[in-house]
Structures are given as C-alpha cells and as structure tokens.
Amino acid sequence: MEHIPLSGLIIALIVSLVLSGCFSGSETALMTVNRYRLRHLADEGRRGPRIAQRLLERPDRLIGVILIGNNLVNILAAQIATVIALRLGGESAIAVATGLLTLTILIFSEVTPKTLAALHPERVAFPAAFALSPLLRLLYPLVWLINLIANGMLRAMGVRIEKDASAAVSREELRTVVNEAGAMIPRTHQRMLTNILDLEQATVEDIMIPRNEIMGIDLEDDWDAILELLANTEYTRMPVYRGAVDEIEGVLHVRRVLSSLLTGRLTREELIAGMNEPYFVPEATPLHVQLLNFQNRRRRIALVVDEYGDIMGLITLEDLLEEIVGEFTTDPAEMMRDVHPQADGSFLVEGSASVRELNRTLNAEMPTGGPKTLNGLILEQLETIPAPGTSLMLEGYPVTIIQTQGNRVKLARIQPPPGKTRR
C-alpha cells in the first residue's frame, strides 16, 4: 500500500465500509424476512424471492458466506485506516484512527444498515440474494470447511443441526396472525378463521341438542298426531323411535314422504321404509373430526352417545357449520332464543343455554371443560337445586335464579360486570 496515493486509500476505505454495511444489512434482512410471504412470492415466479428462499434452506452456509465477506472487508478497512493514520500523523495517530474507525463501522456499517434491513427486509433481502448466490458458489470450499468445523462443535455441545421444526406455526400463533391482519382480511372472515381453529378444542357434546330437546317421531303415538307433526315440522330430518329416544329405529328424511303426506296416502309402512340407519357418534368426538366424518359418510345428522351407549343428544351438520360462520337465521328473536337482553343491561338466560354460546354472546369466559349448559354450571357450583331468588357469582358474573322447573334451572338473570359488553 506504500505506492497507493492517499486519495486512493480513502476511496478504498469508503468502499470497504460500504461493503461491510451491505453484508451486515443483508444478514439482518434475510434472517428477518417473512418466510411465508417469501414462499408466496417465490411461488409467483419472482426470481429474487426464489433465490432468497434457496439461500435460506441452508442458513449455516448463508451466514458463513456473509460473515466471511464481512470480516474480510472489516479487516481490510482496519489495515487501510492504519496506513492512512501512519501517513498523516505517524504512529501516535494509530490509536485515534482505531477509535474513529470503530465508531464509523458501528454507525455506518452495522447499526444503520441493520436497522434499515429490519424495517424493510424485502427491499434489502432480494437484491442481496442476487449478489450472495454467486459469492457462495465462489467461496463454497471455504464456506464448507468453516461450516464443517462449526457444525462439529455444535454437535459436540448437543445441538442438532437438522432443519428446525419450530418454524411451523402453532394454532395460537396462527390465531394472532389472523387477528392482526387488520384491513387485509375482513372482520367477518377473521372470525370465521378463528372459529375454524377453535373446532379442535370443542367436542360434539359442547354443541349438541340435548336429549330432552330432540324433536322426533314416536311410532307408538297416534297416527293422526304423527301426520300432524310431519305436516308442521320445520326440520328436514327427524329421528324415529318407539316409546323413548333410546329405542331409535332410524332417521327419516321428510322429503321422501312429502308427496304421500300431501296426498293423504302416507302409511306407517311407507314411513318406516323411508328411514335411514341411525348414525351414532361418541360424545368426546372433536368438532373438526366430526365435520370430516359427516363429509366422508355423506351424513347430515348424528345421535350423540356416552360411554354406556345411551343417547345424550343430537348433532347436525348445520350446528357444526354455525360454529364457523355463525347463526344461519336472520331472525333476531330466533338468534337470541336462549339469551334475552333487558333494558337495564342484564340478560335473561334459559338454563339450557350452551356455555359456549353464552361466552360468545356475552363476551364472557365461563369454563367450558365441565358442564355444557348454564344450568349445569349453576348446579355444579351450588351442589343443590336452587330456589328462585338464589344468587351466586359465576366467573365474576352475578347470577340470580328466576325460575326453576323440576330438578333444573329454567331461567336466570345474568348481570355483566362493569367493562363487559355483549359482542
């Protein structure tokens, strides 16, 4: 460097600092770029993202080539700064040059480019990928040797070098991504996506129609009563049994007998012939599994049974879909059939109201791991059948029993605590 003019050394020093900043910024950008957006852009055929994705498949090699280049230019910058200091002030200026160079590298070659890369990773990562890819091929033997030694040391310390499985997104992380999507995903669609994620945490028992509310056809009833029931029913499919729901014989698709019903020619034999075999599902079946079961079996209705085979309730495909998209009905009175808002801000709630539906409607956080209805929660906490006028606290919500019927709570008043509003 003795024969290089001072101006040439200064230019070389500036170039070295710029290259150092490029290596530092590219490292931060490639390590912080959104991998899922990168994959999306690569699938669209964009060359920069494709190269960046290929580099990130082996991060050890990528880091190796970046650090080799960064250290080389930093060492070169230090040597050039030393020569410039000797020419300008002799040996006494070396210490000053070292301090100034350290400060300059920190500001212009480390902090500034890394901050820029962290704020705009795609703008830095994709152009950097074009430069780093051929550089990796050029320095591959040196990179391979360095990685071999470094990976060997990591293995000796018990660190596995295989591809990290933690890159996968968990359900809760995906929920956060959906909720923070903002205007990119409409709020209605966000709720649907999060509801799909919740299917895995609920079972058919959580949303089934309880046994005592099942509307079916009892073959032991008077025939005229059965015909009247079929003529006025709002359901397309109805369970058929003898005497009690446990004596189930099949499920009738009302449309199959509609023609005969309208012409007055329907008989018991035709009704029985039009039934399908009943479909039973265990109470603990997760909702996402049951949704697939309905699809695979081409069924729309199932009877829920406990571990002893006793029928506990009924679930339909519509019930499952409503867990994702919300209530199908547009009649407010029908949508709020179990929860009735009052003028004073409280709610009159049927004892049969589902805890999950209650949580959604009142923006509450009542436990769903035990009883599935409000009546069940009250009985579990009080351990007795309460009298009207009894009050208790459920997860911070004051609850007053309004009406009981037999051995269950028929109606209760819930007063949301301050700060809680209905969704």
Domains in the chain, CATH or no CATH each: 6-160 (no CATH), 213-278 (3.10.580.10), 280-326 (3.10.580.10), 332-414 (3.30.465.10)
Q: Which is nearest to 232 in space by CA: 259, 209, 254, 265? A: 254
For 262-314, the pLDDT digits (tens) are 888 889 899 998 899 999 999 989 999 999 999 999 999 999 998 888 999 99
Residue 165 has pLDDT above 50, yes or no: no
Kindly state the average pLDDT of the residues 217-239: 90
Closest CA to 254 of 280, 269, 225, 234: 234
What is each CA distance from 90 to 12, 77, 82, 83, 97, in whole angstroms? 20, 18, 10, 9, 11
The C-alpha angle with vertex 301 and arms to 364 and 274, in degrees rounded to 5, equals: 155
Strand order in the sheet with 397-405: 339-341, 347-350, 408-414, 397-405, 391-394
What local confidence, expressed as pLDDT, does residue 238 receive? 92
Q: Mean pLDDT over residues 84-101, rounded?
A: 84
Q: Which residues, other chains included, contact 63 with Cβ-Cβ below 8 Å and sequence gap of 6+? A: 27
Contacts of residue 232, Cβ cutoff 8 Å, sequence gap at least 6: none
Is residue 377 over pLDDT 60?
yes
Could you give the dihedral angle defined by the CA atoms of residues 346, 348, 353 and 357, in that order, rounded to the nearest 10 degrees?
A: -30
Q: pTM for the whole thing?
A: 0.60
Amino acid 316: pLDDT = 92
Residue 378 contacts residue 412 (beta carbons within 8 Å): yes
Confirm if 279 and 302 have CB atoms less than 8 A apart: yes
| Enclosing H/E stretch for 281 | strand 280-282
Whole-number Å distance between alpha carbons of 48 and 42: 8
What is the pLDDT averaged over residues 48-52?
Answer: 90
Angle at 213 between CA 209 and CA 218, to 5 degrees: 115
CA distance 251 to 275: 5
> CA 109, CA 77: separation in Å to the nearest integer?
11
DSSP per-residue letters across 50-86: HHHHHHHTSHHHHHHHHHHHHHHHHHHHHHHHHHHHH
The pairs formed by 379-386 with CB atoms below 8 angstroms and a separation of 24 or more are 379/408, 379/409
pLDDT band at 148 (very low <50, low <70, confident <90, very high): confident
Containing 43, the helix (H) or strand (E) segment is helix 35-43
Secondary structure letter of residue 347 according to DSSP: E
Q: Which of 106-110, 235-239, 356-360 has the lowest mean pLDDT?
A: 356-360
